[in-house]
Amino acid sequence: GNEDAVTFLRSVFDLVIKEGVERVKDASTPVIDFKNPEELEQILDLKIPMQSSSHDQLLHYCEQVFKYSVKTAHPHFFNQLYAGLDPYGFAGQVVTDVLNTSIYTYEVAPVFVLMEKYLLRHVRQLIGYEGGDGTFSPGGSYSNMLGMNLARFNKFPQVVRVGMRGLPRIVAFVSSQSHYSNKKNAALLGIGIDDVIPVATDNCGRMLTSDLKRKIEESKEEVSILSNVCLVLLNVLYHCVINYQMLISLWFTIMIRWNGAVPFLVVGTCGTTVLGAFDPVDEIADICQDNNIWLHIDAAWGGGVLLSSKHRHLCKGIHRSDSVAWNPHKMMMAPLQCCIFVTKHDSVMKNCQSIQVPYLFQPDKTLYSPEYDIGSKVIQCGRKVDVFKLWLMMKAHGNIGLESRINKAFDNAQYLAELVKKTDGFKLVCDVSPECTNVCFWYLPKRLRKLEWRLDDKAFCQKVAAVPPIVKEKMTTSGSLLVGYQPLAGMPSFFRMVVINDELTKSDMHFVINEIDKLGQDI
Amino acid sequence: GNEDAVTFLRSVFDLVIKEGVERVKDASTPVIDFKNPEELEQILDLKIPMQSSSHDQLLHYCEQVFKYSVKTAHPHFFNQLYAGLDPYGFAGQVVTDVLNTSIYTYEVAPVFVLMEKYLLRHVRQLIGYEGGDGTFSPGGSYSNMLGMNLARFNKFPQVVRVGMRGLPRIVAFVSSQSHYSNKKNAALLGIGIDDVIPVATDNCGRMLTSDLKRKIEESKEEVSILSNVCLVLLNVLYHCVINYQMLISLWFTIMIRWNGAVPFLVVGTCGTTVLGAFDPVDEIADICQDNNIWLHIDAAWGGGVLLSSKHRHLCKGIHRSDSVAWNPHKMMMAPLQCCIFVTKHDSVMKNCQSIQVPYLFQPDKTLYSPEYDIGSKVIQCGRKVDVFKLWLMMKAHGNIGLESRINKAFDNAQYLAELVKKTDGFKLVCDVSPECTNVCFWYLPKRLRKLEWRLDDKAFCQKVAAVPPIVKEKMTTSGSLLVGYQPLAGMPSFFRMVVINDELTKSDMHFVINEIDKLGQDI
């Protein structure tokens, strides 16, 4: 019965506080008790039974989940663009969970609809938009997709009814270090990855606007014979027998190629995934204005700086964009998922994405205006409530508290970069100070430290690139910390330290340097 | 500090149990304490402050959220395709929340990656697929989108690189009562709403396969001069000055129209949104097989019957489909969001949706095989963990418990339909017994009961259609129950009662009839 269920819930809550809130903050416990997939599958009893399980058994399963999961709220988890646990955000999430509703109509989510409208307006004001619209979304990739979809609609509204076949070739421009979602989204939207044109960056990952200008001009005049030949071959391969339809399709593709493309979107990034670079938004906005191109800003990671009067200059010009993606679940420490998409345009979401749905958005409702049925203008139908956890956090900390959270992360990252500069065996990827709270560096074990540093020497680069996977394995099996690594732009693999958690101190930064050196100096 | 935060969390947990778990089950409390948007905005203190707020203040905000939110776990909430609260699902959600991770790599979500792989295999086995792949997704609309995307890729893999401009015109077929997401998804994917061809249904909402066959043949030979003329006009309107590019584009569009289309997808529905109809999957599968078309089954709502040996015959032939969308957060009562997409094809997700992402899916990882980095093959980057709540529920109830949950909902719906049949003023929309747990009926106040029942009489239909909005307003302001309504297929608005919650009894069904009659007999 219900009483039993309540007793069970109370036991789970106790476990959640003990394991999920208290123990994870103890730096002396491991970040992960690593088992490989084969071992872990042996340990976990995954099978779905015929009969019900006892509460003790279920609690045991929950304990196992805690034991073998990664503690992302542990002070030494630096592996992703999220970390830490905001207790107010978590509390808001639990309240949302138990109320278990979908935020598509005011009828079933009155409080959350109002709150979402309010908070999205607040975010637009932070950005500097005057009017506009927006939605929470299930991820930064999804938000970038919305930007791409609205940009296309803005130039060619017929796409909704007739699809891409009613359009000339359209092309988007993104920096070569922008997030991979831009490519995946172009594939999904029927635009194609080939029409996402990469723009060169400087050494620290910022888009070169001179290259953007040049690529836009080129795209308008492009005669790409090679790509057309490839396309023909591809089609022949996939279809073997060429039929009449296919010939027409190919002919059209070639004609369009020969007549250039229509630039419809530039994605600027505020806080790139690896280096944390901020593209020069103001300069990009000038180019977009001159060419009548939609400017979407992917601030999923770096958008947190909007809360800080000290650091928001990094996004200078963001108010001139057409849309912005920002994930408060990253730098702001809101619980996952908490992602915001906003546009400065009042009715583009409605015009592009609404269709009549009388079973859900009844036009003859008597108690409130249809504008409060906000689900009508998004692509999702059912949508999880992601606003309350963020709102409660913002109430709890106030603007001042959130600003100091962001500033502290930047201070710690700056301190870590200084440590990296002066510690033997460590070398910053971007020689100037990091723009964001990513600190990227190579690490060299003792045996490599005497070699000359030459990124143009392939053999040397291979030696450098072989280090992070080994150190990462040692981190993981010891459980002492987790830091990610990757190659980038032809450079050998390096570590990406991400500083987010506002409970970190300078001594945690020393810990990172010392621990990596301890694990790696003799490999 | 942390101790304070824990004290706060414990207070919130107490509130959650009191208001969210215990009080919501009390049928004598209102389902909703309704305030219109203007009133509610006055009551709620939405503003984000500069300074932090006290724990007492934050608790007060949480109390307000409970007070003014809709109680979807209340026994008399019948408004959506979700209802009730499974305490084990909720417990699993809270554990997932506090662990706060993203399910893209084994590195940061080892337990959940294994669990998801296991559970998706389990679901594929339930469906009758032998191999295959799958993912959890943020909604049924999103799952249907995945089906559409993979179907297109399966026929024209070049779409990923060159987009729709490398393809002939492609068309999808859906029943006229299928979910609206199919249209929204076609717009998003650059296919266009016009190329989603509606197939007629019988009186109870099931797809007519004779019409499907005919429409497929027609599409291949279609010469739609009218639609081309419209297209040309549209383009002219949007662009005013016709340029060379646009002319080529229009020419191509016309040529393709004149040469027919390539059918690439049929969406069959198991449990339509309004009537709960099950399309004849086996017959549809025959047609898809003959025409080499991808068959996607939208079982978001009706998929629950797969758990019941008594009712799973409704999905007969589902194992012959290429992909399935199923939302356990609907009939199965898992907490929102809990949505599954599976395909019978082993590598289509990987081939269609993977690109190289070395910062996240490092190919030189040493501790496990890259196949465990399941984020690589989905479109999202960060993805919320939705598996554990479902897995814990399945462990808690066992197959037998879940089957009896589904059977009970069907029994209650059947009982309600019988009551509707024999109660004065109530009339079933579909005269035979409902196929699913939706019970759709017209309600007539006393003054309309003497009129002859004539759906071909426009004046009569207007009178019938005017009833539900008024009754709905009375339900909402009294808070006694919530039931949705809508028009459909030219018929005047009717109520859609959705039976899900397994704590309902036959007396709750009597309550629904009596309460609607009480609210509406004299209007």
pLDDT at A79: 97
Query: Which pLDDT tens digit goes with each residue over B240-272?
Result: 544 555 555 555 555 555 557 899 999 999 999
Contact B249 A16 (CB under 8 A): no
CATH of domain B404-520: 3.90.1150.170
pTM of the model: 0.94
Distant-in-sequence, close-in-space partners of B484: CB < 8 Å, separation ≥ 6: A359, A360, B78, B79, B80, B495, B496, B498
Compute the average pLDDT of residues A93-99: 98
Contact B10 A17 (CB under 8 A): yes
Is the per-residue pLDDT at B229 higher than 90?
Answer: no
Please state, in angstroms and as integers, the Cα–Cα distance from residue B158 to each residue in A163, A491, B18, following that order. Answer: 17, 31, 56
Contact A8 B88 (CB under 8 A): yes
Pairing of strands A426-428, A438-443: antiparallel
Compute the average pLDDT of residues B153-169: 89
Contact A157 B25 (CB under 8 A): no
Question: Which residues of chain A have a CB within 8 Å of the CB of B109?
Answer: 69-70
- Range with lowest mean pLDDT among A292-301, B315-324, B354-363, B481-490: B354-363
Question: Which residues of chain A have a CB within 8 Å of the CB of B493?
Answer: 364
Please state, in angstroms and as integers, the Cα–Cα distance from residue A100 to each residue in A229, A234, A256, B306, following that order. Answer: 54, 48, 50, 24
Task: Using CA coordinates, name the residue in chain B closest to A98.
Answer: B20
Tokens of B54: 């006290």
Does domain B127-221+260-355 correspond to CATH entry 3.40.640.10?
Answer: yes
Does domain A131-222+260-346 correspond to CATH entry 3.40.640.10?
Answer: yes
Q: Identify from A177, A249, A339 which residue to disrupt to test chain B contact, counting B C-beta atoms within 10 A and taking the largest count.
A: A249
Is the per-residue pLDDT at B275 higher than 50?
Answer: yes
Contact A141 B496 (CB under 8 A): no
Query: Which pLDDT tens digit goes with each residue over A102-147?
Result: 999 999 999 999 999 999 999 999 999 999 999 999 999 999 999 9
Q: Supply the angle between the helices B55-68 and A110-127 in degrees, to the nearest 10.
A: 130
Tokens of B59: 């608790």
Pairing of strands B133-137, B196-199: unpaired
Q: Identify from B95, B177, B269 which residue to disrupt to test chain A contact, counting A C-beta atoms within 10 A and taking the largest count.
A: B95
- DSSP3 helix / strand / coil % (chain A, rounded to 5): 50, 15, 35
Residue B363's SS3 state is coil
pLDDT at A91: 98
* C-alpha R_g of chain A: 25
Q: What is the C-alpha to C-alpha distance for residues B216 and B225, in angstroms, rounded to an integer?
A: 18
- Do the Cβ atoms of B152 and B191 come closer than 8 Å? yes
Q: Compute the half-sphere exposure of residue B417: CA atoms within 13 Å on the CB side of its CA.
A: 22
Q: What is the C-alpha to C-alpha distance for residues B47 and B53, in angstroms, rounded to an integer?
A: 12
Q: What is the C-alpha to C-alpha distance for residues A24 and A477, in angstroms, rounded to an integer?
A: 17
Task: Using CA coordinates, name the residue in chain B closest to A17.
Answer: B6
- Closest by CA to B104, choosing from A273, A437, A5, A254, is A273
Query: Which pLDDT tens digit goes with each residue over B18-67?
Result: 999 999 999 999 999 999 999 999 999 999 999 999 999 999 999 999 99
Q: What is the C-alpha to C-alpha distance for residues B36 and A106, in angstroms, rounded to an integer?
A: 9
Is the per-residue pLDDT at A255 higher than 60?
Answer: no
Cis amide leading into A356 (omega within 30): no
Q: What is the C-alpha to C-alpha distance for residues A314 and A299, in angstroms, rounded to an integer?
A: 11
pLDDT at B247: 55
Contact B66 A99 (CB under 8 A): yes
Is the per-residue pLDDT at B231 higher than 60?
Answer: no
Nearest by CB to residue B85, choosing from A100, A113, A165, is A100
Is the per-residue pLDDT at A337 higher than 70?
Answer: yes
Q: What is the C-alpha to C-alpha distance for residues B339 and B179, in angstroms, rounded to an integer?
A: 15
Domain ranges of chain B: 2-30+33-69, 127-221+260-355, 223-258, 404-520
pLDDT at A245: 52
Compute the average pLDDT of residues A60-66: 98
Q: What is the least distance, in Å, from the CA of B275 to any CA of chain A?
A: 11
CATH topology of domain A396-520: Aspartate Aminotransferase, domain 1 (3.90.1150)
Question: Which residues of chain B have a CB within 8 Å of the CB of A142?
Answer: 138, 380
Q: What is the C-alpha to C-alpha distance for residues A163 and B59, in angstroms, rounded to an integer?
A: 49
Q: What is the C-alpha to C-alpha distance for residues B165 and B145, in angstroms, rounded to an integer?
A: 20
Burial call B475-497: b when 16+ CB within 10 Å, e when fewer: bbbebbbbbbbbbbeebbbbbbb
Contact B20 A98 (CB under 8 A): yes
Question: Which residues of chain A have a CB within 8 Å of the CB of B489?
Answer: none
- Closest by CA to B318, choosing from B307, B328, B303, is B303
- Range with lowest mean pLDDT among A64-73, A230-239, A332-341, B475-484: A230-239
Task: Using CA coordinates, name the residue in chain B closest to A365.
Answer: B469
**Residue A403: its H or E element:** helix A387-422
Contact B68 A335 (CB under 8 A): no
Complex ipTM > 0.85: yes
- Do the Cβ atoms of A31 and A481 come closer than 8 Å? yes
Q: Compute the half-sphere exposure of residue A419: CA atoms within 13 Å on the CB side of its CA.
A: 21
Evaluate whether A131-222+260-346 and A396-520 have a shared fold.
Answer: no
- Do the Cβ atoms of B96 and B310 come closer than 8 Å? no
Question: Which residues of chain A have a CB within 8 Å of the CB of B158?
Answer: 231, 234-235, 238
Q: What is the C-alpha to C-alpha distance for residues B70 and B64, in angstroms, rounded to an integer?
A: 12
Task: Using CA coordinates, name the residue in chain A closest to B477.
Answer: A367
Burial of B404 (0-12, 13-18, 19+ CB in 10 A): middle
Question: Which residues of chain A have a CB within 8 Å of the CB of B369?
Answer: 37
Nearest by CB to residue A58, choosing from B53, B379, B395, is B395
pLDDT at B242: 46
Burial call B419-455: b when 16+ CB within 10 Å, e when fewer: bbeebebbbbbbeeebbbbbbbbbbbbeebeeeeeee
pLDDT at A242: 46
Compute the average pLDDT of residues B211-233: 73
pLDDT at A248: 53
Distance of alpha carbon B159 from the chain centroid: 27
Q: What is the C-alpha to C-alpha distance for residues B373 and A394, in angstroms, rounded to an integer?
A: 34
Is the per-residue pLDDT at A256 higher than 80?
Answer: no
Tokens of B344: 């019978």
Q: What is the least distance, in Å, from the CA of A215 to any CA of chain B?
A: 18
- Do the Cβ atoms of B268 and B284 come closer than 8 Å? yes
pLDDT at B167: 83
DSSP character at residue B185: H
Q: What is the least distance, in Å, from the CA of A245 to any CA of chain B?
A: 6
Nearest by CB to residue B397, choosing from A21, A52, A368, is A52
Question: Which residues of chain A have a CB within 8 Å of the CB of B166?
Answer: 192, 231, 234-235, 249-250, 253
Greatest alpha-carbon pair distance for chain A in Å reads 78
Is the per-residue pLDDT at A236 higher than 70?
Answer: no
pLDDT at B34: 98
φ/ψ of A365, rounded to 5, equals -60, 145
Query: Which pLDDT tens digit goes with each residue over A266-302?
Result: 999 999 999 999 999 999 999 999 999 999 999 999 9
Q: What is the least distance, in Å, from the CA of B493 to any CA of chain A?
A: 9
Nearest by CB to residue A249, choosing from B160, B167, B360, is B167
- Do the Cβ atoms of A485 and A515 come closer than 8 Å? no
Position A252 confidence tier, pLDDT thresholds 50, 70, 90: low
Tokens of B404: 């009896």
- Closest by CA to A496, choosing from A486, A505, A506, is A486
Mean pLDDT rounded to a whole number for chain B: 93
Query: Which pLDDT tens digit goes with each residue over B292-340?
Result: 999 999 999 999 999 999 999 999 999 999 999 999 999 999 999 999 9
- Closest by CA to B29, choosing from B63, B65, B77, B64, is B77
Distance of alpha carbon B257 from the chain centroid: 33
Is the per-residue pLDDT at A194 higher than 70?
Answer: yes
